[in-house]
Amino acid sequence: MKRLVFILILLLVLPSVMAREGHTKLLAVKEEGDGFEGSVADLYLEVVPGEGRVFIETIPLTKLDTQISTRFAAEVACNYLDKDCSRYDFFYTIRADSNIIGGPSAGAATALLTISLLEDIPIDENAAVTGTINAGGMIGPVGGVKAKVEEGIEEGIKTILVPKGKRFVTKDNLTTDLKDLAARKGVNVVEVSSITDAFYELSGVQLKEMDKNITIDPDYADTMKELAEMLCRRSEDLRENISEASDEAINLTKRAEEAFSKKDYYSAASYCFGANVRLNSQIIKREEQDNFEEVKKEIDKMYFEMEEVKVSTISDLETYMIVRERLDGAKDSYNRTITLYEEGENYSSQFAYTIERIYSAESWSRFFGMEGKSFNFDLESMEKSCRSKISEAEERYQFAKLYFIRGLEKKEELEAAKEEAEKGNYELCLFKASKAKAEVDSIISLIGVKEDDLKGIVDTKLEIVKRNIAEQQEKGIFPIVGYSYYEYANNLKEKDTYSALVYSEYALELSNLDMYFKKDKEWRSYFRGSKEISLFLGGLLVGLFIMWVVRERKVKPNVKRKKSSKRKKSKK
């Protein structure tokens, strides 16, 4: 009986043994008067066996809801480790002395602490981190960095990690070197750009290779080359029908030729598309073309064909997104064309855009059927991905508005994503919400940045995108839109740095869509670390021991009864 009681107690204790707990410091800000002051908070995490749920408690409440960014940080951490987290529950607690802002600025620290517990690798608790976390594990910029660093120094923190590009802070034409400021107090300020960088600084463990190169998928390269050739041949055909092309069209054609010679096929296709709109506009205006019905039939035909498309890979999903976006753009442009025509206004540019958008959609449809890892794109997972991305983008907008920011009242892409969600067009919703989040992230990236430093920020982002795409390839995924935008941002950065920044953010968001969808489960996800193996084997041994005890308890009374009956017979 005593043995059985002991075993039952052991079974009750086992789940608590399986739980993991950890802690790290957060650098935050709180509102004081008309400005912000730095604040240090404590972040605690307990990971227990569960169902993939995320719980967050903040004491006291934060100004911004931290639930969305916490859930996203946990998802990024699991995706970064390629770990199945549907069998864990995550309990996060933030404790601070006063009401802090909260929100996305705790994202990097949350992701790093999550990785620490999932991998069972301790991190330095005398260090603190500030920064957002983005798809692919990029640590993004935040506001109030100087105030946070100063508060961290006062609190005795010895290592402070800040987003790359935030070492120098300029205010009222005075630039402060935060690394130098902290060094005078014996504190080390380190700029980090990714989870890999930051985790190494906190633990001394290099989780992933830093330098990775992309191997361009041959199917992608061949198809994109064909697409570029088709659109650029159209430029030549259109130009033959014009005696004098506009300067814009000529310049775009030249840039397309340069891009094609570098094998930047998406960039070449994009420049030729722009040239085609301008060239065709001249022709339509000259010939007063009004073949509206013919164009409308072509749009309707493509919509019908899209209904028959089966999406099974990330490449299929991204192709569907971009073809559908171009088709919707053609439809909207067609409607505006008809309005201009009926009002007696010049419709040539609008009609040209409609026609060229149809050509672009048809060209991109060639990417359907590219080989790659299969995913479960059921209605439930598509809706969940769409609404998750909307929430992420919405949170970023609220965060950005706290710090500066003019021009953020326009949320056209985000509102469009919400409209698509209401219509049940979840693929397009995910695409538009991803772009909306990327756009506001590009604005946040500019906080306190001098124009001379902008190209360096773009280069940093592109390096992270390159690493992400290479890692996606290791999983059997080639993100065709993510790579296309990566290539385009590289092509743009010398002549149009701001556009390059936006496209680098697009590339980052659209290179990691797999994190929202279920993959086939693998045994390795269940036995990643030695602790899981030990717990599994321990549980197995306990189970076998219980079976042995139960069996012994059944066998011994039978043996006693047999001995007793033998003694009775002998007495007779």
- 88 and 115 Cβ atoms separated by less than 8 Å: no
Single pTM value for the model: 0.79
- Least confident piece of the model among 44-58, 242-256, 509-523: 509-523
102 phi-psi bin (left φ>0, alpha ψ -120 to 50, beta other): left
Q: What per-residue confidence (pLDDT) applies to 419?
A: 95
Residue 413 falls within a domain, yes or no?
A: yes
Residue 397 falls within a domain, yes or no?
A: yes
| Total domains in the fold of the chain | 4
Q: What per-residue confidence (pLDDT) applies to 189?
A: 96
Residue 29 falls within a domain, yes or no?
A: yes
- 24 and 123 Cβ atoms separated by less than 8 Å: yes
Q: Are residues 383 and 408 in the same domain?
A: yes
Q: Are residues 237 and 96 in the same domain?
A: no
| 528 has pLDDT over 90 | no
| 8 has pLDDT over 70 | no
How much of the chain exceeds pLDDT 90, in percent? 56
Q: What per-residue confidence (pLDDT) applies to 524?
A: 38
As given in the structure block, the two tokens for residue 58 are 């903040």
- Phi, psi at residue 447, to the nearest 5°? -60, 120
Q: Are residues 121 and 166 in the same domain?
A: yes
Q: Which of 492, 516, 540 is the last residue of a domain?
A: 516
Q: What per-residue confidence (pLDDT) applies to 543?
A: 61
Q: Are residues 192 and 301 in the same domain?
A: no
Q: Are residues 354 and 222 in the same domain?
A: yes
As given in the structure block, the two tokens for residue 36 are 């912000």
Distance CA 305, CA 376 (A): 22
Q: What is the pLDDT of residues 215-244, one digit of tens each?
A: 999 999 999 999 999 999 999 999 999 988
For Cα atoms 501, 385, 414, give the angle at the middle one, nearest 5 degrees: 50
Residue 294 falls within a domain, yes or no?
A: yes
- 446 and 190 Cβ atoms separated by less than 8 Å: no
Q: Are residues 263 and 331 in the same domain?
A: yes
- 482 and 469 Cβ atoms separated by less than 8 Å: yes
Q: Which of 367, 393, 410 is the last residue of a domain?
A: 367
In what helix (H) or strand (E) does residue 57 lie, and over which residues does it extend?
A: strand 54-59
Distance CA 172, CA 556 (A): 88
Map residue 167 onto helix, strand or coil: coil
Residue 12 falls within a domain, yes or no?
A: no
Q: What is the pLDDT of residues 104-114, one digit of tens each?
A: 888 999 999 99
Residue 316: which of 368, 359, 381, 271 has the closest Cα? 368
Q: How far is CA 143 from CA 29, 121, 404, 501, in A?
A: 9, 30, 9, 18
Q: Are residues 37 and 102 in the same domain?
A: yes
Map residue 248 onto helix, strand or coil: helix
Q: Which residues contact 419 (CB under 8 A, 6 or more apart)?
A: none
- Least confident piece of the model among 21-25, 216-220, 360-364, 546-550: 546-550
* For residues 401-413, average pLDDT: 66
Q: Which of 151, 177, 203 is the last residue of a domain?
A: 203
Q: Which residues contact 181 (CB under 8 A, 6 or more apart)?
A: 149, 150, 153, 189
Residue 332 falls within a domain, yes or no?
A: yes
Q: What per-residue confidence (pLDDT) applies to 273?
A: 97
Residue 8 falls within a domain, yes or no?
A: no
As given in the structure block, the two tokens for residue 232 are 């650029």
Q: Are residues 405 and 350 in the same domain?
A: no
Q: The domain spanning residue 129 has which CATH number?
A: 3.30.230.10
Q: Are residues 359 and 461 in the same domain?
A: no
In the Cβ-directed half-sphere of 490, how many Cα atoms lie within 13 Å? 20
For the chain, the average pLDDT equals 85
Distance CA 238, CA 279 (A): 6
Cis amide linkage into residue 557, ω under 30° from 0: no
Q: Are residues 48 and 132 in the same domain?
A: yes
Per-residue pLDDT band for 116 (boundaries 50, 70, 90) equals very high
Q: What is the pLDDT of residues 455-506, one digit of tens each?
A: 888 998 899 899 999 989 988 999 999 999 999 999 999 999 999 999 999 9
Q: Are residues 357 and 383 in the same domain?
A: no
- For residue 559, give its domain range: 529-571
Q: What per-residue confidence (pLDDT) applies to 35?
A: 65
- Phi, psi at residue 210, to the nearest 5°? -80, -45
| 381 has pLDDT over 60 | yes
Distance CA 525, CA 85 (A): 9
Q: How far is CA 324 from CA 156, 159, 310, in A?
A: 54, 48, 14
| 120 has pLDDT over 90 | yes
Residue 172 falls within a domain, yes or no?
A: yes
- 83 and 532 Cβ atoms separated by less than 8 Å: no
DSSP at 141: P
DSSP at 106: G
Q: Are residues 510 and 546 in the same domain?
A: no
